[in-house]
Structure 1
Amino acid sequence: MGRPGEIEFAQLLFGGIGIMVMMALAIVIFVLLYQRKLHFQQSRLHQMEMLHQKKILESIVASQENERERIARDLHDEVGASLSAVRLFVNQIQYEKSPEEMKGLAARSGQIIGDVVKDVRQIAHNLSPVIIENFGFAGAVKILLRRMEDAGMDIRCAIDDPADVLSSYQQLVLYRIIQEVIGNVVKHAEASEITFDLHHGSSQLSLLMSDNGKGFDIHSSQKAAGMGMSTIRTRTDLLGAKLELSSAPGEGTRFRIEMPV
């Protein structure tokens, strides 16, 4: 039988070893649980990221389809109708005996063909960003707004050219958003005035577009879809920007876009 001191030392030794083993097991269990939780969180984040990317892809595809539908509609409604009218005039010329009538039909056909050329150029302009290359972002936007002014609208415009803070891709996406919004004003707003204000600092760009038109119910998904809001939001997301929309029947519409630069 060992001496009391040795027994006490052995008990302390085994007790310390036991505590250390328990602490080691606790650490192992904690690490395993932490890794399991971390893996679960990473898996969840990955799923959320995949879902977000899927939604963006679906929005891009929808945007492309909407663009194709718009082009087809423009070709059918404007170019197709005009060419059909020209065809009727040309066919009628062969049955006319009076030179004056023939000249009149030819002149009307030539006028319509001139309009068709303008329509085709406009459709091509909407497809191609060449205007930005030729006139710069600010110049291209001013051309858009000048067309609205020529149509009788009162335009209030202030543009701080963002060419120094935005890449070519960002300028193109932002230009497409502006095109879509202005197109909505022309097609739906029945407005007489457009306010356009774009300015930027060293870290943020702000764009405000508003009109005094009839407005709409922003909670109506059908109305928002008709105004291409999904396309505008998708392009805004591509810029990493924040979009604020406010409108109500009879109160006009206001778009505000803020994005980091």
Structure 2
Amino acid sequence: MEKELLQEDSQIIVIILIAIMVLLLMAVSLVLFFFFSRKKIIAAELEKANLELSHQKDLLHSTIETQEEERKRIAQDLHDAISAKLNVVSLSTNVLIDGKLNKEEQERTLQNILSVTTKTLESSRRLAHNLLPPILENFGLSAAIEELCDEFISSKKVNIEYAIEYNNLLPKRKELHIFRIIQELLNNSVRHGRAENVILKINDTNEHLEIEYVDNGKGFDITSVNKNKGIGLKNIESRVEILDGKLSYHSEVGNGATFNISAKKPQP
């Protein structure tokens, strides 16, 4: 009898030991599972952070590239529109100072100086307008875009149908980004797309400012553009990113281009 009790006790001890071993194995398995799961989660978070950092670097490079391109454009405008004309004024003035011209030649030279000076003033006003449109500062985004569209229409290079619904709820710095985006789109349509007609719609919703832009220009190949984006498209993408917005576009060679932009509005 005593022997049977000892056997039962031994069996119970074995069962308990087996149960403890199983529990230990389960505990170790759980620890390893959580360890490797956490490791995977950390790796995924690091990968996400690296992608975000890479995206921020790309955005920074794009923004710097855009700024440099704008500086070059301003420098070129200053040279072509102002510096060259002032050189003409300087030369004409020196000729007058020499006193070797007769009365009729003096009058023609003075008329030429007056004409060049007038054109230089117009060029400087246009350059200042391009840098910071005064109508945007004084009357808001809607008026600035209307004036921009009317300027393109009056140039006879393109016809623009526009409908603007905007309640002036964005900060001025964001309005300037939207203005520059529209300006870049119009410049691209005229210079590169050779478009004759443009449709521009701006709708103000509760949370977003929605922009739809369509032209009938020569279009472009999406695949090629995505691989090698020009400064104009990079400029637009950078500004949309700054606006915390979204950009989508579609185009086919010979069938124009469509751009849809959604800019997030600050909530009260």
Cα separation, partners in 2 of 1:38 and 1:220, compared to 1, 3 Å = closer
The 4+ residue runs of structure 1 with deviation greater than 6 A are none
TM-score scaled to structure 2, two decimals?
0.84
- The residue type paired with residue 229 of structure 1 is L
Aligned twin of 1:136 = 140
Counterpart check, 1:55 vs 2:58:
yes
Distance apart, 1:219 and its partner CA = 5.0
- CA displacement at 1:20 relative to structure 2: 1.3
Aligned length: 258
* Structure 1 CA distance for aligned equivalents of residues 217 and 192 of structure 2: 8
Asked if 1:83 is matched to 2:55, the reply is no
Q: Is the 8 A contact 2:145 2:179 kept in 1?
A: yes
* Partner Cα separation in structure 2 for residue 191 and residue 98 of structure 1: 51
- SS of the equivalent of 2:192 reads helix
SS at structure 1 position matched to 2:101: coil
The 2-side partners of 1:10 and 1:213 are apart by 87
Give CA-to-partner distance per residue, 1:172-200, whole Å, 9 cap, x none. 21111112122223433444433221113
Identify the residue that residue 27 of structure 1 maps to in structure 2: 30
Where 2:251 maps in the other structure, the secondary structure is strand
Q: CA deviation at 1:162?
A: 4.7
Q: What SS does the aligned partner of 1:180 have?
A: helix
1:158 to 148, 157, 163: 163
When residues 247 and 108 of structure 1 are mapped into structure 2, their CA distance, relative to the original with a 3 A threshold, is: farther
Is structure 2 residue 232 aligned with structure 1 residue 228? yes
Aligned residues of 2:221 and 2:251 also touching (Cα < 8 A): no
TM-score (norm 1): 0.86
What one-letter code is carried by the residue in structure 2 that aligns with 1:208?
Answer: E
Cα distance, 1:259 vs. partner? 3.8
Q: How does 1:59-74 map to 2 (within 5 A)?
A: 59-74=62-77
Shift in alpha-carbon separation, 1:28–1:248, aligned structure 2, 3 A:
same
Distance in 2 of aligned mates of 1:245 and 1:135: 33
Alpha carbon RMSD of aligned pairs, Å? 2.6
Using the alignment, how far apart are the partners of 2:213 and 2:153 within structure 1?
A: 15
Is it true that 1:244 corresponds to 2:249 in the alignment?
yes
Contact 1:184 1:227 in 2 (8 A): no
Q: What is the distance in 2 between the residues matched to 1:241 and 1:162?
A: 20
Which amino acid is 1:73 matched to?
Q
Q: What does residue range 201-212 of structure 1 map to in structure 2 within 5 Å?
A: 201-212=205-216
Between the aligned residues of both structures, percent identity stands at: 30
Question: Which digits, 9 at most, give the CA deviation of each residue in 1:22-47, with x for residues without a partner?
Answer: 11111111121112212211221221
Q: CA deviation at 1:86?
A: 2.2
TM alignment of 1:36-55, pairs within 5 A: 36-55=39-58
**Residues 243 and 258 in structure 1, CA contact (< 8 A), matched pair in contact too:** no
Distance 1:217 1:22, change over 3 A: closer
Unaligned 5+ residue runs, structure 2? Answer: none
Q: 2-side partners of 1:74 and 1:245: how far apart?
A: 32
The separation in 2 between residues aligned to 1:181 and 1:144, in whole angstroms, is: 12
Alpha-carbon deviation of 1:96? 5.0
Question: Do 2:216 and 2:256's aligned partners in 1 also have CA atoms closer than 8 Å?
Answer: yes
- Structure 1: runs of 5 or more not aligned: none
